[in-house]
Amino acid sequence: MLPIKKGCVGRRVVCHACTGLSKRLLGLKMHGSDAARPLKSRRSGPLRGTAAIPGDKSISHRALILGALTVGETRITGLLEAEDVLNTAQAMRAFGAQVVRGAAGEWMVHGTGVGGWAEPENVLDFGNSGTGSRLVMGAMATTAITAVFTGDASLRGRPMARVLDPLQLFGATYTSRVGGLMPVTLSGAELSICVDHKVEVASAQVKSAMLLASLNAPGRSRIEQGELTRDHTEKMLAAFGAKISVEALPHGEAIHVTGEVELVPCTVDVPRDPSSAAFALVAALIVPGSDVRIPSVLLNPRRAGLVQTLIEMGADIVVENERESGGEKIGDLSVRASTLKGIDVPPERAPSMIDEYPILAVAAAFAEGRTVMHGVEELRVKESDRLSAITAGLKANGLVTAETRNSLTVEGRGLGGVPGGARVATHLDHRIAMSFLTMGLASKNPVSVDDISMIATSFPEFEKLMRDLGGDFQVVNA
Ligand code: S3P
C-alpha cells in the first residue's frame, strides 16, 4: 500500500500532488462559485454523427468508494470526470485513501480497507450529489469515526433520513437539521451489528448504503427491497471479492452480505452512461432527418427502461453488438428521427428509468397523442421536484400537461408541433436543463434555460457533444 499523504486530507480543492490536476484544469467549473449561465437552443438541421458519451455516474461513484475500502491498487478507466464524482473522489481522500488521476478518465485508488477509514478533518461537501453522499454515509456507518456531510442548496433540501434511519440499525447515530436535512453529522457504530432490513423506498442509493454498511458489521446482513433498483453495487461488490448473494423473492429480492471480509483490488472499466446518452437519443428522434450512433452504452436491464419505452412509442432505435464489459451489459445504439406515439408507461418500469423522465417528457411532447407516466413519486425528491419542474417547463412552452402526486400526463403535439419559446427554470437540476435544451432543438421557437452551470455535475461535455452532432445553441444574457 502507498503511504497516505496526510496533507491531502480534507481539502476542498483537488490536491495537485495527488492528481496532478485541479478541477479547473480538468475543465470543470464548480457551479457553486459561478453566476447563473443561461443558454438557448434553436431548431436545428438533422443531427448526424457519433456521440461519445462519458462514463456512467453510478458506477463511477461506486468504483471510487469500493477502491477506498480496499487495500492495494484499484484501477479505474473511463471514470466520469464530472463534479459529482470528483466530490466523491475528494471525500475518499478525506477518509485517508490515495486517489490519483493518470490519463483522462484513468484513476488509481489506494484504499485503507473495510473498517480502515480515518476520520475526516473537515466537513465533506458533496455538492449536488445525492448518490455520492448517501453511499458514503453507508460506507462509513459501521466504522467508529464521525463525519459531517453537506452539499449545495439542492442537496441540502433532499431527504437524508431515508438512509440515516436504517443505518442506525447497525449502531450508527446522527444529528441533522429538522426533517433529516443536511448538514448531517454521522457517527459510525462503535460496535456494529448485522441487520435484517427491508428498504421501504424504491431507492438504489438507500439499498447500496445498507450493503456498504454491512461490509464492516460482523455476521450476515440481509437487505430486502420490493422493487428491482439498479444493481451496480451488488455486481461490483462481487467483483471486489465480497461475500454477497442475491435471493429472488416473489416481490423483489433479498441481498445477503457477510461482514468483516476483506475486499480485493480490481480493475473497473466504466461503461458509458445511459442517463447522459438519453439526451442525444431523444434529440436524434425529434429533429427531422437525424441519424446518430451512440456506441458502448451501459445496457444493464435495470437502467434500460427509456430505450424500451421509446421503442414502444415507435422509435427507430437499433441495438447492436450487445456484449459484456466489466460485468455489465453494453451495446451500440443507432437512432433515427421517428414518428412517436403516446403510451402508458407502467409504474413497475420507474426504477429502470428513474433519471430519464424529464427527457421522456420531452419525447412525449413530440409524440402523437397522450403519454401517461405512472408511479413516478420518487421524482419529487430528486435534484429538484422534477414533476413540478417538468410540468412548469412544458406549460411555459405551450404544452398541455398535468401532474398528480405520482403521475405525469403529457399531451403530445407531434413532430414539428411543439411551440417552445419560453425560458425554463432549472432549480439547480442538471437533467431539467439538458432536457429543455434538447426540446429547443426541435420546437418551433427557441427554448432557453436559466442556468447551465449544473450540467457540469454529471455531463460537462453536453453542449459540445450536442453541437458536434449539429445542435444549434446560443449563449444569452442572464
Ligand atoms: C442512483 C440511484 C437513483 C438515481 C441516481 C443514481 C444510484 O437515486 O436517481 O441518479 O447511483 O444509486 P435513488 O436511489 O434515490 O432512486
Is residue 384 very low, low, confident or very high in pLDDT (cuts 50, 70, 90)?
Answer: very high
Q: Is the pLDDT of residue 6 over 60?
A: no
Nearest to 206 by CA among 187, 177, 180, 175: 180
Q: Is the pLDDT of residue 382 over 60?
A: yes
Nearest to 64 by CA among 77, 55, 46, 76: 76
Is residue 228 very low, low, confident or very high in pLDDT (cuts 50, 70, 90)?
Answer: very high
Q: Is the pLDDT of residue 275 over 60?
A: yes
pLDDT at residue 58 in the model: 98
Decide whether any atom of ligand 1 lies within 6 Å of the 205 Cβ: yes
pLDDT at residue 27 in the model: 39
Nearest to 76 by CA among 88, 87, 61, 91: 61
Residues 158, 160, 162, CA angle at the centre, nearest 5°?
115
Contacts of 326 (CB under 8 A, 6+ apart): 239, 267, 268, 269, 270, 271
Mean pLDDT of all residues in 69-73 = 98
Residue 47 CA to residue 459 CA, distance in Å, equals: 19
Nearest to 455 by CA among 123, 177, 1, 38: 38
Q: Is the pLDDT of residue 232 over 70?
A: yes
Q: Which domains can be identified in the chain, with CATH numbers?
A: 16-23+57-269 (3.65.10.10), 33-54+271-475 (3.65.10.10)
pLDDT at residue 394 in the model: 98
Is residue 34 very low, low, confident or very high in pLDDT (cuts 50, 70, 90)?
Answer: low
Mean pLDDT of all residues in 117-122 = 98
Q: Are 439 and 447 in contact (CB under 8 A)?
A: yes
Q: Across the chain, what does the average pLDDT equal? A: 93
Mean pLDDT of all residues in 391-411 = 98
pLDDT at residue 18 in the model: 35
Distance 85 CA to ligand 1 centre (A): 13
Mean pLDDT of all residues in 95-113 = 98
Nearest to 306 by CA among 362, 263, 238: 362
Work out the angle between the directed axes of helices 357-365 and 274-286 (0-180°, nearest 10): 10
Residue nearest to atom 11 of ligand 1 (CA): 58
pLDDT at residue 326 in the model: 80
Mean pLDDT of all residues in 322-331 = 93
Decide whether any atom of ligand 1 lies within 6 Å of the 363 Cβ: no
Q: Is the pLDDT of residue 164 over 70?
A: yes
- Residue 248: alpha-carbon gap to chain centroid: 25
Catalytic residue among 355, 429, 450, 451: 355
Over residues 288-315, the pLDDT tens digits come to 999 999 999 999 999 999 999 999 999 9
Mean pLDDT of all residues in 390-414 = 98
Is residue 35 very low, low, confident or very high in pLDDT (cuts 50, 70, 90)?
Answer: confident
Work out the angle between the directed axes of helices 130-140 and 83-94 (0-180°, nearest 10): 20
Residue 346 CA to residue 227 CA, distance in Å, equals: 13
Ligand 1: residue of 57, 64, 201, 230 to mutate (most ligand atoms within 8 A of CB) is 230
Distance 203 CA to ligand 1 centre (A): 6
Q: Is the pLDDT of residue 374 over 70?
A: yes
Decide whether any atom of ligand 1 lies within 6 Å of the 74 Cβ: no
- For residue 355, indicate whether it is catalytic: yes
Beta strands 181-187 and 173-177 are antiparallel
Decide whether any atom of ligand 1 lies within 6 Å of the 230 Cβ: yes
For residue 336, with 0-12 CB atoms within 10 Å meaning exposed, 13-18 middle and 19 or more buried, which class applies?
A: middle
Over residues 234-251, the pLDDT tens digits come to 999 999 999 999 999 999
Q: Is the pLDDT of residue 445 over 60?
A: yes
pLDDT at residue 432 in the model: 98
Residues 158, 164, 166, CA angle at the centre, nearest 5°?
125
Decide whether any atom of ligand 1 lies within 6 Å of the 199 Cβ: no
Q: Are 307 and 285 in contact (CB under 8 A)?
A: no
Residue that the C-alpha cell 444493464 belongs to: 300
Residues 142, 85, 193, CA angle at the centre, nearest 5°?
10
Q: Is the pLDDT of residue 2 over 70?
A: no
pTM of the predicted model, to two decimals? 0.94
Q: Is the pLDDT of residue 169 over 60?
A: yes
Q: Is the pLDDT of residue 119 over 80?
A: yes
Is-cis flag, bond preceding 183, omega within 30? yes
Mean pLDDT of all residues in 61-75 = 98
Distance 189 CA to ligand 1 centre (A): 25
More confident residue, 150 or 477: 150
Decide whether any atom of ligand 1 lies within 6 Å of the 276 Cβ: no
Q: Which three cell numbers stand for residue 396?
A: 411555459
Residue 83 CA to residue 76 CA, distance in Å, equals: 17
pLDDT at residue 28 in the model: 45
Q: Which three cell numbers stand for residue 353?
A: 428509468
Distance 197 CA to ligand 1 centre (A): 19
pLDDT at residue 325 in the model: 87
Measured in degrees and rounded to the nearest 5, phi and psi for residue 295 equal -80, 155
Beta strands 146-150 and 124-125 are parallel
Is residue 327 very low, low, confident or very high in pLDDT (cuts 50, 70, 90)?
Answer: confident
Mean pLDDT of all residues in 93-113 = 98
